[in-house]
Amino acid sequence: MRVAIIQFLGTNCDFDCKYACDCMGIESEFVWHDEGELKNFDCVILPGGFSYGDYLRSGALAKFSSIMNAVKSFAKYGGYVLGICNGFQILTESGLLTGTLLKNTNLKFIHKDVYLKVENSVCGFAQDIEKKVLKMPIAHGEGNYFCSVDQLKYLEDNNMIVLRYSSKDGSVEDEFNLNGSLGNIAGICNEKGNVFGLMPHPERAVGDLGHDGEEIWKSLLK
């Protein structure tokens, strides 16, 4: 297992992802955004941060980096792609995932541990942990997931919703939806389940920081 951690201008969770990979015994390597290809990697991580200062819209400028063409073809041929926080925003802007992420409805940057219910989904990063409730931190100002009614139905019909904000015991209610996301959605995947985007930070719930995030990283080892 060899993981590429992409560094855009303004990425700031790259070393956290490397820490998580190291904790889990996964080999990882940083890849700069102007590289044109991804060679000999099994998985690509788009880490969190503020690529291009979040100018225009979060992730809107990073999607034009040359590495994103390589990420798109990597995903097309079944390679595993994980987008965390700003990485999730880049994946939606690139069209690799459906919908978009709006400003949190309370307009605040929210940094807090949250509980997430793992749904039954086709996601390759969340197999064998369905129905579990994971505790991970969120840290974002624009994590309010939005898509059209038709797109939401498509996500539901095709089991592409992976994580929802919930209570400690997995109850998905409005009161646990801190950012206003449609259907409490915290993470979704594509049809094939090889591209996964989520707002919470699994890399900050690994090793000394917690263990629930490890469930996501473990899936890379399977």
Partner 1 sequence: MKYIVIVKPKKAILDPQGQAIKKVAQNYFKKDIGDIRVGKYFEIETQESQEIVEDLAKKILSNDVIEDYEVIKP
**Contact positions toward partner 1, by CB under 8 A?**
56-57, 60, 64, 92-93, 99-100, 102-107, 146-148, 180
CB of 109 to partner 1, least distance (A): 13
Is 37 noted as a catalytic residue in this protein? Answer: no
Q: Which listed residue (17, 21, 43, 85) is catalytic?
A: 85
Closer CB to partner 1, 45 or 147, in the complex: 147
Nearer to partner 1, 38 or 67 (CB): 67
Supply the minimum distance, in Å, between the C-beta of residue 150 and partner 1.
11
Q: Is residue 201 annotated as a catalytic residue, yes or no?
A: yes
For partner 1, which is the closer residue by CB, 140 or 201? 140
**Direct distance between the N- and C-terminal alpha carbons of the chain, in angstroms, rounded to an integer:** 9
Q: How far is the CB of 119 from partner 1 (least distance, A)?
A: 22
In angstroms, give the least distance from the CB of 105 to partner 1. Answer: 5
Annotated active-site residue in 93, 142, 203, 215: 203
Active site residue 203: yes
- Nearest residue (CB) to partner 1, 102 versus 129: 102
Q: Which are the catalytic amino acids?
A: 85, 201, 203
